[in-house]
Amino acid sequence: MKPVIIVSTYPDKKSVNKIANQVVKKRYAACVNITKISSIYAWKGKIENTSEYLALFKTIEKKKNTLKNEIKKTHPYDVPEIVEIDVRSINKPYLNWLVKSTF
């Protein structure tokens, strides 16, 4: 099985915790790491400087599209960030846990 990390940002802790719990419970992701970040970006002609929550959704190739669709469907942003990171190297015990946790 091939591991995949999906990255997204959320406006508040409540919304990111809700989706993280939901996708882990449904086994679309084995784990979601969440951290508070500062983001600077252009939006509607202005430069925004805000706090957000970065979520790293850890899953497998077989579940990535289902996970992306769930993120898109539930995301509070008009234009959510949904970025796929191709994992080229992972330690075997962690990969085994990842696969087991998403089946």
Strand intervals (E) in 24-82? 31-43, 46-60
pLDDT tens digit sequence for 83-98: 999 999 999 999 999 9
Q: Is the pLDDT of residue 24 over 90?
A: yes
Please state the φ and ψ torsions of residue 50, each to the nearest 5 degrees: -135, 165
Position 35 confidence tier, pLDDT thresholds 50, 70, 90: very high
Q: Could you tell me the pTM of the whole model?
A: 0.94
Q: Is the pLDDT of residue 1 over 90?
A: no
pLDDT tens digit sequence for 45-90: 999 999 999 999 999 999 999 999 999 999 999 999 999 999 999 9
87 to 1, 4, 30, 60, 95: CA distances (angstroms): 11, 6, 15, 10, 11
Domains and CATH numbers, the chain: 3-101 (3.30.70.120)
